Amino acid sequence: MLKPVVDWDTCVGCGACAEVCPEVFELRDDKVWVIGLDKCNTCNCQEAADICPVQAITVTEE
């Protein structure tokens, strides 16, 4: 199972990840939250991590 992790100290709240993978990421209060961890295998979490302009998202395999 893939697991995305957001580094809130690095996240700038641009929302690019939520646009690519709205099933997993949601922009709230200028930070991104992981809302659908169980859906990471059905969306494109790695693309969301790759598109992050500040590399605030890492995706690991569990």
The pLDDT tens digits along the chain (62 residues) read 888 999 999 999 999 999 999 999 999 988 999 998 887 777 788 999 999 999 999 998 87
Residue with tokens 């992790």: 5
Q: Three-state DSSP class for 50?
A: helix
The DSSP output letter for 62 is -
Query: Positive or negative CA dihedral for 24, 6, 10, 8?
Result: positive
- Could you state, in order of their start, the residue ranges of all structural domains in the chain? 2-61
Length of the chain: 62
The reply to whether the predicted model has a pTM over 0.75 is yes
CATH for 2-61? Answer: 3.30.70.20
Q: Which amino acid is at 8?
A: W
- The whole-angstrom separation of Cα 55 and Cα 62 is 20
